[in-house]
Amino acid sequence: MAMNVGQGADEETPMSDINTTPLVDVMLVLLIIFLIAVPVVIQTVPVNLPKVEFEPTTTKPENVSLSVRGDGAGGCEVYWGLQKLDSEELLDRGVKKLEDEIKRLGGVEFITEETMPEVHIRGDVDTPYKCVGGAIFTMQRAGFSRVGFISEPAPGGAVTRM
């Protein structure tokens, strides 16, 4: 192994200069790789999201109103009106509600998009997602195809008073 030593009066002292050219070359190559790789990694599916701030809902008597909240111990509480239900009772009551509505309209052939009852879910801000998702899944299993969320508009939102 050879070592470059200084020249002149202090010939025995080693040279303290470092060749930085290979270091700069490596850093430039890494920079180019990252500039090329980042746009490939960050790809999203183009989705056209709705631009609705607040849309007033029309409440019809055949609609189902559910309130969902967490019980604080990791469980869920679902209320149909003011009555607390578990998931089996919710499913049974949803099926019965839909059957009664079909009978009221005169049969399945008279159900249209406008006459189909909707489920309106009011979810507390601190409600775990599994509670709201479970209520949606149960009501879809019961046969309801339209599920919506009731929210409170932000102060000074799109609601105008006459």
- Predicted pLDDT of residue 139: 92
- pLDDT category, 162, cuts 50, 70, 90? very low
pLDDT per residue as tens digits for the range 88-128: 999 999 999 999 988 988 888 888 888 888 898 888 777 88
Q: Is 19 part of a structural domain of the chain?
A: no
Q: Of the candidates 94, 93, 69, which has an alpha carbon nearest to the alpha carbon of residue 144?
A: 94
pLDDT > 60? residue 45 = no
Where do the DSSP E strands lie in the chain? 64-70, 76-80, 83-85, 119-123, 147-149
Residue 87 lies in a domain: yes
Higher pLDDT pick, 50 / 81: 81
47 within some domain? no
Q: Tell whether the model's pLDDT for residue 1 goes beyond 50.
A: no
Position 131 in a domain: yes
Q: For residue 41, what are its two tokens? A: 């990694």
- The total number of structural domains in the chain stands at 1
| CA 81 – CA 62 distance, rounded (Å) | 13
Question: For 23-37, 51-65, 76-90, 92-106, which range has the lowest pLDDT when averaged over its residues?
Answer: 51-65
pTM greater than 0.75? no
Does residue 49 fall inside a structural domain? no
CATH number of the CATH domain containing 108: 3.30.420.270
Confidence check: pLDDT of 85 > 80: yes
Is residue 71 a part of any domain in this protein? yes
CA distance linking residue 90 with residue 80, whole number of Å:
8
The answer to whether 119 and 144 are in contact (CB under 8 A) is: yes
Contact call for residues 117 and 63 (beta carbons, < 8 A): yes
Range of the domain at 93: 64-149
- Mean predicted confidence (pLDDT) in 61-75: 84
